[in-house]
Structure 1
Amino acid sequence: MQYISRYQSPLGKILLAADDMGLTGLWFYGQKYFALHLDESHEEKSYSVLDLAKRWLNLYFSGQEPDFSVPLHLKGTEFQKEVWKILCDIPYGTTVTYGEIAAVLAQKRGLERMSAQAVGNAVSHNPVSVIVPCHRVLGSNGSLTGYAGGLERKLKLLELEKVPRY
């Protein structure tokens, strides 16, 4: 069973979803892939993981780096989960490129190279925006590319984290 709750952020309304293993979704209303993997049968109610995620978001949107993590239960392919794990390791206030993530994956798999485009596709399907920081991934030349929540939100999230101009 999944449980949902709503959160009003400075960047728009958010839908949160969780199950007994952790947070399964965090989507801005109107974003690409909104509520992907949300079970048809879900219930809106106060739930400990959702309450913890809201506490994390309150700190984050107040300009602070949260000093705790929210348990996650990410649903996707093994490749997507591998990419999302790398996203979770990007430090607050920093960025990486799709190509850098592809290079890490290639090295882990013993490959000469991996497609940055495949990485971009996995990043775009991240079901837990903000907490799994896909907004910290930039194009090869440092450009703002590909954010399911919209490039304006991506820019605002990077500004909130005081990321130097790219």
Structure 2
Amino acid sequence: MNRRHTVTDSPYGPLTLVATDAGLRGLYMTDQRHRPPEETFGDPDPRPFTEAIRQLGAYFAGELTAFQLPLDLTGTPFQRRVWELLLTIPYGETRTYGELAALLGNPHASRAVGLANGRNPVGIVVPCHRVIGTGGGLTGYGGGLDRKRRLLAFESGAGEADTLFAADFGRPR
């Protein structure tokens, strides 16, 4: 499978985008847990990422609340079901791991949901940052709890003015 990648700046640090011919395969932050080795990202080539970068810029400008990008997610059937549920969490809202487990038909699977959530290869676009612990606590995030806190604050309207960044967003590195 032909893979390509590019790195672009964001208000949350550099983002590495990885794609196949089928769609976006990865969106990785610096120091992200479960980040694959760079040699698996394919050749550097910013051309396949024009639309993804445009939509990310609109998201960071507060103009886009749901991404419309072809995705090429690989994972176990359970992980894929969890990631599909993440896509249903509305912008600015959160769900708990337990709520997602119940929606999957197994209310005792919150830990498994958390593990699948942590393996999400396309953060931000597949909004794993919108999942919180019971009682509203911020638990685990592959990109770090500070980034999770900032993303949730941004989506709730209480975050920093990331819109100032949007004009410069998308410059490949």
Distance 1:76 1:58 in 2: 27
2:149 is aligned, of 130, 147, 155, to 155
C-alpha contact 1:65 1:92 (8 A) present in aligned 2? no
Distance 2:41 2:95 in 1: 37
C-alpha contact 1:4 1:18 (8 A) present in aligned 2? yes
Question: Counterpart in 1 of 2:30?
Answer: 29
Normalised TM-score (structure 1): 0.88
Question: Counterpart in 2 of 1:59?
Answer: 58
Question: Counterpart in 1 of 2:127?
Answer: 133
Deviations, residues 100-157 of structure 1 (Å, cap 9, x unaligned): 0000001xxxx5x331000000000000000000000000111111100001000111
Report the aligned-residue RMSD. Answer: 2.0
Aligned residue identity for 1:7 = T
C-alpha contact 2:4 2:41 (8 A) present in aligned 1? no
Distance 1:94 1:87 in 2: 11
C-alpha contact 1:56 1:66 (8 A) present in aligned 2? no
Distance 1:122 1:67 in 2: 21
Aligned residue identity for 1:154 = K
Residues 96 and 163 (structure 1), Cα distance of their counterparts in 2 relative to 1, 3 Å cut: farther
Question: Counterpart in 1 of 2:11?
Answer: 10
Distance 1:93 1:67 in 2: 11
C-alpha contact 1:21 1:72 (8 A) present in aligned 2? yes
Distance 2:66 2:140 in 1: 27
Q: What is the number of equivalent residue pairs in this alignment?
A: 158
Question: % of aligned pairs identical?
Answer: 43
Identify unmatched segments of 5+ residues in structure 2: 159-173
Deviation of 1:34 (Å): 1.3
Distance 1:71 1:144 in 2: 29
Aligned residue identity for 1:20 = D
Residues 114 and 34 (structure 1), Cα distance of their counterparts in 2 relative to 1, 3 Å cut: same
Distance 2:41 2:58 in 1: 30
Deviation of 1:9 (Å): 0.4
Question: Counterpart in 1 of 2:170?
Answer: none
Normalised TM-score (structure 2): 0.85
